[in-house]
Structure 1
Amino acid sequence: MTASHRCDAIAVVDDDPRLRQLVGGYLSQEGYEVFEAENGSALSSILQRRAIDLIVLDVLLPGEDGFSVCRRLRATGTRTPIIMLSAKAEDADRIAGLTMGADDYVCKPCNPRELRARIQAILRRSPPKEEPGGPSIANEVVRFGPFEFNMGTRTLRRDGRILGITTVQIAILKVLVRHTGQPMSREKLAQVARGRELGAFDRSLDVQVSRLRKLLEDGAFSYIQTVWGVGYMFEPSGKDGGIRYPSGPGHAASW
């Protein structure tokens, strides 16, 4: 590893396989774990399966272009840093990319070392990673139905009464809540919540999710839903109409 950085995984999205291999190969040599995608759909599949620390996103993609992909990701609450890569160098294009939620805009052709420097600069500004199951750095509190989940104090309450919840269940709930409405594969949930890969015959995650689902039942409804063929999802649309975010210092949920 020749670079000192905190990033584990980068997704390189470009319909040109030669460019993907060029950028991906260079970043791999710099110690990053690289995942290649040819379009927005392939990127979504990657994001569903595992945690990605930064996305290098080409603008001129077939079908859903890079601007639309960026806008869609931000609309669903994805906060993963995005660097847009494009041969379109006009000010209007740069402004459009940044306005839609990109963190940086780099024009092709670019020096790979410049791209690496921009990646490192963005990641230096990112908040430090939390330990799986540990308290959130920001004192995030999320309320849904009769429940209140405080990620800072790692407490779960129902109608004001503290419920017993394990560290693993806290880690799982944190990940699901932060990706509300987004199906999470078992593999990605295990990686983010437990900090390790899921074994081929490892059913411990499903056992913990099952217990968490029962804990979060509100009548016949549970806020943890199974998405068949994918994994699990936090569904906030309970009897009271959905998720609520308390206002005030130290109580802003982070998405």
Structure 2
Amino acid sequence: MTGQNRGLVLVVEDEPAIAELVRTYLVREGFTVMTESSGEAALAAARRHRPVAVVLDIMLPDMEGTEVCRRLRSEEDWTPVLFLTARDEEVDRLLGLELGADDYITKPFSPRELVARVRVVLRRASGTVAESVRCVGPLKVDVPRRRASVGDERIELTATEFDLLAHLMTRPGRVCTRSDLLAAVWGHRSDAGARTVDVHIAQLRAKLGPAAGTIRTTRGVGYSAEE
């Protein structure tokens, strides 16, 4: 076990055996862990304790995990969220990402893989991209502070959305293929595909409003940030 305290992770899972398994492995990696078994309890815990990440089961007794995530995001709580789901259909995965989740893992899962995923979303959230402030047209990204803005208006993005935007903005005019973006933003995730990139690009454009045109599509190739 590492002696470093990596922060509090909120684990929301109504199956005690799974919750304990996840807790055990996260504690071994130096995290403090709080567990809850319902959506309402999870929301109260997130508001009170401000965890560094939330591991969130989709199927909860009082509400779905997607609703918990939706409510957090509606309150402008951008804590990284990793979904646990027994559903294996792409539509459910993409739904979770569209709600602002940062990652997902399907059951049954390897506890070591889950811990690795948690560390990845935390690394993305803390900012590991080269430090810089970049502007393309009215769009600006402050990489060290992990802020994006259009003109004077700040745009709230998930950790994954920000990393995707920052990768494009730090390479203005260069077309990044979907494979490039998957490798840079999602790492060596074997279950993330081109459709995941497309969904996140659509989310970015929706949030960027009048600056949406800054993100250009090169059909059959990928995306770029251009004035």
* Partner of residue 252, structure 1: 154
Give TM-score, length-normalised by structure 1: 0.50
| Unmatched 5+ stretches in structure 2 | 128-143, 158-227
CA contact (8 A) 2:43 2:68 kept: no
Deviations 1:121-142 (A, max 9, x none): 11111135xxxxxxxx6498xx
Using structure 2 for the length normalisation, give the TM-score. Answer: 0.56
- 2:18 aligns with 19
Give the aligned residue type for 1:2.
T
Distance 1:127 1:78 in 2: 15
How far is 1:70 from its partner? 1.0
The corresponding residue for 2:81 is 82
| Separation in structure 2 between the aligned mates of residue 55 and residue 139 of structure 1, nearest angstrom | 20
Q: Deviations over 1:121-178 (max 9, x none)?
A: 11111135xxxxxxxx6498xxxxxxxxxxxxxxxxxxxxxxxxxxxxxxxxxxxxxx
Aligned to 2:217: none
Instruction: Name the aligned partner's letter for residue 8 of structure 2.
Output: A
| Compared CA separation, residues 139 and 102, structure 1 to 2 (3 A) | closer
1:19-53: CA deviation from partner (whole Å, max 9, x where unpaired): 11111111112110000010111112212322200
More helix by share: 2
Amino acid at match of 2:154: A
Counterpart of 2:151, as a letter, is: G
Task: List structure 1 runs of 4+ shifted beyond 6 angstroms.
Answer: none
Residue 2 (1) aligns with residue 2 (2) = yes
- Structure 1 residue 247: Cα displacement: 5.5
Alignment CA distance shift 1:47-1:138 (3 Å): same
Query: Which sections of structure 1, spanning at least 5 residues, go unmatched?
Result: 129-136, 141-245
- The 5 Å alignment of 1:213-228 reads none
Offset from partner CA, 1:5-27 (integer Å, 9 cap, x none): x8301000011112111111111
Change over 3 Å in CA distance of 1:12–1:85 after alignment to 2:
same
Pair 248,49 (structure 1): closer, same or farther in 2 beyond 3 Å = same
Structure with the greater alpha carbon radius of gyration: 1
Q: Distance in 1 between matches of 2:64 and 2:85?
A: 11
Sort the Cα spacing of 1:90 and 1:247 in 2 relative to 1 into closer, same or farther, 3 A.
closer
Q: Retained in 2: the 8 A contact 1:7–1:123?
A: no
Tell me the equivalent position of 2:118. Answer: 119
CA, structure 1 residues 98+254, in 2 after alignment: closer, same or farther (shift >3 Å)? closer
Q: What secondary structure does 1:97 align onto?
A: helix
Alignment CA distance shift 1:139-1:14 (3 Å): closer
For the structure 1 residues 74 and 116, does the alpha-carbon distance in structure 2 shift closer, same or farther, using more than 3 Å as the test?
same
Once the two structures are aligned, what percentage of the paired residues are identical?
A: 39
In 2, the alpha carbon distance for the partners of 1:16 and 1:115 equals 16
Q: Matches of 1:253 and 1:138 in 2, distance apart?
A: 13
